[in-house]
Structure 1
Amino acid sequence: MIIKHIALAAVVALAPVPALAADVSGTTQAVFQNPAPASAVTTGVGTNSITWGVASDNVGVNKLRFDAGTFSSVYNSPFKVGRLTYFNGTVQSGTEMNAVDLALDLTFANPNIGKFSNVFSFGINNTLNNGTADENADYLSLPTSFSAGTFVADGITYGVKLTGFGNITGDGFVTQSATEFRVREGGSASADLFAMVTPAVPEPATWAMMLTGFGVVGMAMRRRKVRYTTQIA
């Protein structure tokens, strides 16, 4: 009898787990636009590969490229939207770029809404190169992570949120929060850029829970106030 139970458990454990159906799937593409400040010396604006700065030595200028891809995921779960390759050159002061927009297009096959376009702003920190190799690393950051635009699927309003960088190769690294992609001076590195599709506003059930919670807190505060007033009297 015990042997039969063990055998049955083994069969259940080895049974294939059905894959979750993808809530969202499609393809991506992106270009860089709106470099800042106006004094930045750039090439490739409006394409997927941008350079900035005037080279101060034979290392060359800074370069950033976005490689598009495909995605398939479920709601509220990160997925790869593309891969960034960043070369950290050495440029003359006053010619550098400290911000750039990534105009990202997600063409959805599921849900069948077609192209969903949004602009995300990246900060670019150009270090002074007066510290250690890691301290001298220039980096990209995500000051704007949630899409301005939204779409509706199954009666729910969704937006796209950039969640960070990962899967680094080459001479780079990410911070603990994964929102800064750092590349050491004179080096090149690549990182996957991740996003997720998530509700842009709380769902009705979430609102109900929040309102219930506020009501409980309010009642507790009133009761404490009554008891405190009684004790003083």
Structure 2
Amino acid sequence: MSGFIAASSAQAATFPVGSANFKASAGPNGTFAGAFFNTGIAAGEFTDTFTFTLPADGFGSGTVTTSANFLGNANDLDFTSVLINGVAAQLFVAGGGVFESAFQNLIPITAGQLNTITVTGFSRGNGAYGGQASFEPSAIPEPASWALMLAGFAMTGYALRRRRVAFA
């Protein structure tokens, strides 16, 4: 019996929000929270892309992690990169390479545009990872708030102008 290792081709998958691998829920004040994952990733290189569109401009943050019992076993998975809208997340390796995580925050998200989280890596036969993402809309005052703010500035300016300052 001779030893033979076959190189597998790269795998690619796309998961839109609402699919079994990518769930999101709306929260108060226009926030969103999401969870994404992939399991049973066959041996070889992989690229998973998670896609979503949001109704408002704002900022997103996220983390993604993997773990295995032993370095190099079938459940071990290594991240090559994690990108959020093309911005590289910071990769962190612990436990001698058994645990990996990637994280990034304050990624600009544009309303009505297709946004992506792209996870690339290498699986040893039955890899898995999981992640979470959050979104907070930009603080843009409503027209009534702008009017009230401008009226307050005008009153403050008028009061300062009328007030006479005495210098000793």
Same fold (TM over 0.5): no
So what's the TM-score if we normalise by structure 1?
0.31
Of structures 1 and 2, the one with the larger relative CO (CA 8 A, separation 6+) is 2
Specify which structure has the higher proportion of strand.
2
So what's the TM-score if we normalise by structure 2?
0.40
